[in-house]
Structure 1
Amino acid sequence: MNYKILKLLKDSGEDFVSGQKISEEFGVSRAAIWKHINIIKEAGYEIEAISRKGYRIISSPDILTFGEIKNFLTTKYIGKNIIHYESISSTNSKAKELAEMNEEHGTVIVSEEQTLGRGRLGRNWVSPKYKGIWMSIILRPNIITQNASLITLVGAAAVQRAIKKMGIETSIKWPNDIVIDSKKVCGILTEMSGEIDHINYLIMGIGINVNLEEEDIPIELKESATSLKLETGKYIDRKLLLANILNEFEDLYNDFVLNGNIKETIDICREKSILIGREIQLVNRGKVKIAKAVDISDKGELIIENDQGIIEHIVSGEVSIRGIYGYGK
């Protein structure tokens, strides 16, 4: 009921909507309408109420509900079902729980705060309230399991393009980080449930440091992490950025999963790569090697030249670059 009243008020723009009209529209009493209006106010909406005129919205809170981003969305299914939380331990954990209960493809779980946010390799992800985008997307792609890792590149390309639409240039650290000036602003964690020849579902978790201040970033991460606001000096519209990501992701995802075309994604990851041409440290299954990143293949692999001059194609691994993320100076 709160959402329906909110939608009615939003659709009316700057015009007042009378309590009588709302009452007739939803078949509830004027007293009940008043209670719902107060609940909506408690959620952060500023609502003007004038006797004999009714109600209208003056301002909306900075929250990432479907109602707040739907006017920016152009997708057909990604993000059409957004499950919003004020605070949650981990959006990926909740998404996996919901996926096991057959929640629909394209559902987005978003929280204003994560108390136990996770990055790759079990690392913690700091997720302060109302300052970032902490979300997970439930996906059920009809692709072979060997190609599942490409979905991470689709996510990275989509986030890069979405941030660029906000007027901010970023780079991609293969396969799952978005960086600015050698500091991380976004990480992507993709988890899969499936068998050898079948994917039950994928969960793509995306965490973006949007409007974090200096004090929000732990001391031990200040040299390796930043936020869009810290880098630009400007407050970033989280609602528009979230919608941009979902729009860009659906386009690239459809191109890959439905059309079998990964070229645009690879082109973006290659063009915006922070690795290509640089010396890197690659950690894979506990083994460390120093190599030069040469290219990203048409299959999304990182192509490296090892210290013996031999070319190798890397499917996964933890990559560090000299001068970034603590590898060398």
Structure 2
Amino acid sequence: MENLLNILADCKPHSMPNLTALLTKTPQQIEQSIIALQKLGLNIKVDTIGVHLQPQLDLLDFQRISTALSTKHIFIKSVVDSTNAFLFRNLNQLKKGDFCIAEYQTAGRGRRGRQWFSPFAGQIMLSVYWNFAPNILINGLSSVVGIAIAEALNHVTNNKVRLKWPNDLLLDGRKLGGILIELAHQHNGLLNVIIGFGINLSIGSKQQIDQPWAELIEVLPQLDRNQLIIEIMNNLYQTLPLFEQNGFSFFRQKWIELDAFLEQPIKVISEKSEIQGISQGVDNNGFLLVSTKNGLLSFNAGEVSLRKQ
């Protein structure tokens, strides 16, 4: 099935005889694979011209992105298991700020191992390699990445995007995107991280998404995916050095301004308990502050999940 998707990823028509020859499969087997891909939300058409995959939006433009971000090494993949996983496999050849972006992920993941679903060419799915001096505290890093992305999106959406602690992007209270940061073990004496994020631009199909979700095309119907990528990455490249120099406290006020749940009744859920209270934003480490009947409590992003009451 994945081999078929790799062939169709150019979004051009392919005849059934050509596909059977390339894949050494019968027409019936290829038809079964097409049905399976369609069930995953991929828009594959079969007509007299042939079999062709229809992208949600314009395809990624390597020349345009690489020209705008010329100092970085950019990997653009049609199909990949996940952009984070791709960078992990290629750590030895990466320099700070290099990134991978894909049209489609077969095994995308979100925070706490949740699966990340995507159409073909309907999102921004991107992972960037970064490193910090070994003595740097990276508390609140994912929230700072959220701020950088939200600022770039708000520049073109008239301030429609808000943040949910620790790192969800919201549009009208619904999930627009998320961030996944993983430590990368590299023998260079530095603190290495892979910063991955996904943003819904045009989803098309609602199947397999188990929470209220949003797509940017709702408020930006003429969106330019390639330009959005350029603007987000430029803002991220400006933001991460500031975080390295100043820590999360430098961004605390920006978070408060973007916090969708500030002063709202919330519940904080862990594996063992559920605590209710009023969100008081974050402290200088990026920890969630909650006013409860037992006083003001703080929570680390790795420990809990946040929900509105």
Q: Which band: TM-score by shorter chain?
A: 0.7 to 0.9
Letter in 1 for 2:283: S
What's the counterpart of residue 75 of structure 2?
83
User: 1:96 & 1:179 partners in 2: Cα distance?
Assistant: 28
For the 8 Å contact 1:301–1:315, the answer to whether it is kept is: yes
For the 8 Å contact 2:99–2:128, the answer to whether it is kept is: yes
User: 1:314 & 1:203 partners in 2: Cα distance?
Assistant: 23
Deviations, residues 214-269 of structure 1 (Å, cap 9, x unaligned)? x2x22653x5111111x326132111111111111111111121x32544532221
What's the counterpart of residue 267 of structure 2?
281
What's the counterpart of residue 218 of structure 1?
207
Correspondence for 1:190 among 149, 167, 181:
181
1:154 aligns to 2:144 (yes or no): yes
Query: TM-score, with normalisation over the residues of structure 1?
Result: 0.70
Task: Report how far residue 167 of structure 1 moved.
Answer: 2.2
1:243 aligns to 2:230 (yes or no): yes
Task: Report how far residue 65 of structure 1 moved.
Answer: 4.4
What's the counterpart of residue 299 of structure 2?
314
Taking a change above 3 Å as real, the CA distance of residues 183 and 251 of structure 1, as seen in their structure-2 partners, is same
For the 8 Å contact 1:154–1:249, the answer to whether it is kept is: no
Moved more, 155-164 or 90-99: 90-99
What number of residue pairs does the alignment pair up?
Answer: 252
User: 1:43 & 1:158 partners in 2: Cα distance?
Assistant: 32
What's the counterpart of residue 88 of structure 2?
96
User: 1:65 & 1:262 partners in 2: Cα distance?
Assistant: 34
User: 1:173 & 1:194 partners in 2: Cα distance?
Assistant: 29
- CA RMSD in angstroms, aligned pairs only: 2.4
What's the counterpart of residue 270 of structure 1?
256
User: 1:185 & 1:315 partners in 2: Cα distance?
Assistant: 22
SS at match of 2:223: coil
What's the counterpart of residue 55 of structure 1?
none
Query: TM-score, with normalisation over the residues of structure 2?
Result: 0.74
Unpaired runs of at least 5, structure 1: 1-41, 45-60, 323-327
Deviations, residues 60-104 of structure 1 (Å, cap 9, x unaligned)? x9333441224544xx85xx11111000111111111212x2421
Task: Report how far residue 212 of structure 1 moved.
Answer: 1.9
Deviations, residues 154-197 of structure 1 (Å, cap 9, x unaligned)? 210111011012224111001110001110011000011359xx
For the 8 Å contact 1:252–1:265, the answer to whether it is kept is: no
Letter in 1 for 2:115: N
Larger Rg: 1
**% identical equivalent positions:** 22
User: 2:134 & 2:164 partners in 1: Cα distance?
Assistant: 25
What's the counterpart of residue 50 of structure 2?
none
Letter in 1 for 2:120: K
What's the counterpart of residue 67 of structure 1?
63
User: 1:65 & 1:140 partners in 2: Cα distance?
Assistant: 27
What's the counterpart of residue 7 of structure 1?
none
